[in-house]
Amino acid sequence: MEVTTLDRIMHYINGKKVKGTSSRFGYVYNPSSGQKIATVPYATDAEVDQTIKLAKEAAAKWAKTSVGKRVAVLFKFRQFVSEHTDELARLIGKENGKTISDAKGAIKRGMESIDLAIGAPHILKGEHSVNVGGDINAYSIKQPLGVVTCISPFNFPVMVPLAMSTMAVAVGNAMVLKPSEKVPYSALFLSDLWEKAGLPAGVWNVVNGDKDTVNAIITHKDIKAISFVGSTKVAEKIYETGTKHHKRVAAFGSGKNHMVIMPDADMDLAVDAFVGAAFGSASQRCMAISVAMPVGEKAAEIFTKKAKEKVKNLKPGAYQDETADFGALISEEAKQSVLRAIESAEKEGANIVVDGRNPSVNNANGFHLGATLFNHVTPEMAMYKEEVFGPARAIVTAESLDQAIDLINDHAYGNGVTIFTNSGRHARKFTQEIEVGMVGVNVPVPIPVGYHNFGGWKGSRFGEGQMFGPDTARFFTNTKTVSERWPEADTKSETNFDFPSS
């Protein structure tokens, strides 16, 4: 059935939904069917400027609001996110393509960031020292930056915006969110929930757009901090541009996450973990396992045989199909990119164990691919070196744990990594020597819980901020240290030219 009337997406600026004045716009698709479902406006420089101006005014008032009152809004917001999980999950499925159950899991993970932000009164506490010398007391306070921005990706339309923004709001900043133009519905729904929770107008804003809109935001003089998630190429560009304009930047990029499987591992457990972590969300996760790395030929033979049986039975499907293991890719362009990666791996000599290029799905017009698995992949191949953001995964055999560690440490990306083993000695060596930001032991996807810091190393992150966790409070605040003295009324005044000391 062809869609003849498209939804018109709006911006959310200063507490109101705004159509926008730009003549530039893009289309939003339902990945499961391949149909256009909406048009999304791309904000002009003038609209960005006006949004930030209004956000700056709101930030000044919000910063003076007691932290208790700010947290009360977050409590209500959390309640509404929880109550509307089903509706949010359907929106995510509609615009992103992931299954409803997967979307609900992501929303729950996003709520962990709200839980942490609710603890802002404790996190914002400073330090205090009495009589550091000369009857002087010293103390520190954390103050919000003002207006900050989060530029979020298509693959987690709710979880990532929640992870990136809730602490920023809790500590007293105003937020300008630029969601991926591919998934604008969820951001506007979150706007409704913030408004319902009582957040003052202007503290939370959503502007839609493309790279031109992003550039207008990150170069604006009143944007103080930038949090970004996307590809490494764009993350590095965001970091360079933002820091050039004196912004605080945390830009999170690509990943090529390895799972090392030791010969002593529970092989069935490792295979099940790999299949779910590698192909969930159609592999459109920056923390997805991209490479299985069995140690030793025997382990590789056993792992490949067992994995093949699991992978070939995986079922892609529409987001509302409860029997589907994973949904569609975000776009036809994304699908073609994965197909090119598969063809390249074949040409370079990798062996295709499971070929998912022609899946059986109900709607052939959707952006669907089945699960593809290669073995005999070597570190020189593009399939190993480059992030493939779709369901094509590699098996690379290592001769020893030392070689596995060396290969992973030599890789350009350092987002996540995990090891499956029954040896505490192997696990300890691995966690100590590996040069990756997030590490798992017998854990399929080593993404931390919301009250621990999230951040990769090497080409997976630019800047020192975290996406979520306690360090986000530091990222979105400035620390001010005060030395304070109240002399007695009869204290004699004298000039001292010595450097002050205790």
DSSP-derived letter for residue 110 is: H
Confidence of residue 351 (pLDDT cuts 50, 70, 90): very high
* DSSP label at residue 316: B
| C-alpha distance across the termini of the chain, in Å | 79
pLDDT for res 2:
42
Could you report the per-residue pLDDT of 249-282, keeping only the tens digit for each? 999 999 999 999 999 999 999 999 999 999 999 9
Residue 4: band (very low, low, confident or very high) from pLDDT cuts 50, 70, 90: low
At 190-235, the pLDDT tens digits run 999 999 999 999 999 999 999 999 999 999 999 999 999 999 999 9
The average pLDDT across 30-59 equals 97
3-state SS assignment for residue 188: helix
Q: Which of 43, 267, 286, 293 is catalytic?
A: 286
Confidence of residue 494 (pLDDT cuts 50, 70, 90): confident
pLDDT in tens, 62-102: 999 999 999 999 999 999 999 999 999 999 999 999 999 99
Query: In whole angstroms, what is the distance from residue 421 CA to residue 408 CA?
Result: 17
Closest C-alpha among 62, 277, 236 to residue 148? 62
In this prediction, residues 324-332 reach a mean pLDDT of 97
Report yes or no: 371 and 282 within 8 Å, Cβ to Cβ: no
Among 131-145, 174-188, 280-294, 296-310, whose mean pLDDT is lowest? Answer: 131-145
pLDDT at 167 over 50: yes
**Average pLDDT score over residue span 343-366:** 93
Mean pLDDT within 362-372? 91
In the predicted structure, residue 3 carries a pLDDT above the cut 50: no
Catalogue all structural domains in the chain, each as residue range(s) with its CATH number. Answer: 7-253+460-481 (3.40.605.10), 257-441 (3.40.309.10)
- Predicted confidence at residue 67, as pLDDT, reads 96
Query: Measuring CA to CA, which residue among 491, 397, 478 is closest to residue 172?
Result: 478
**Sorting pLDDT into bands at 50, 70 and 90, what band is 493?**
confident
Give me the count of residues in the chain.
502
Q: Over range 147-169, report the average pLDDT.
A: 97
Mean pLDDT of 452-466: 91
As a whole number, mean pLDDT of residues 332-355 equals 97
How high is the pLDDT of residue 117?
A: 96
Mean pLDDT of the chain: 95
Average pLDDT over residues 366-374: 97
**Does 286 qualify as catalytic in the annotation?**
yes
Three-class secondary structure of residue 338 per DSSP: helix
Largest Cα–Cα separation, the chain: 90
**DSSP alpha helices (H): ranges in 348-423?**
382-385, 401-410
d(C-alpha 366, C-alpha 318), whole Å: 8
- The DSSP string of 2-56 is ---S-EE--EEETTEEE----S-EEEEEETTTTEEEEEEE---HHHHHHHHHHHH
Is the pLDDT assigned to residue 303 strictly greater than 50?
yes
Report the distance separating Cα 370 and Cα 115, nearest Å: 36
Does pLDDT of 406 surpass 60? Answer: yes
Residue 12: which pLDDT band, with cuts at 50, 70 and 90? Answer: very high
Lowest-pLDDT choice from 146-155, 315-324, 479-488: 479-488
Contacts of 125 (CB under 8 A, 6+ apart): none
Residue 1 has pLDDT above 50, yes or no: no
d(C-alpha 400, C-alpha 409), whole Å:
14
Number of CB atoms found within 10 A of residue 406's CB: 13
pTM more than 0.85: yes
- Predicted confidence at residue 134, as pLDDT, reads 81
Report phi then psi at 223, rounded to 5: -85, 125
Q: Which residues contact 69 (CB under 8 A, 6 or more apart)?
A: none
Q: Residue holding tokens 């705004």?
A: 18
How far apart are the C-alpha atoms of 257 and 445, rounded to whole Å? 9
Please state the rounded mean pLDDT for residues 382-390.
96
| Percent residues over pLDDT 70 in the chain | 99
Output 421 or 466, whichever has higher pLDDT: 421
β-sheet bridge partners, residue 129: 138
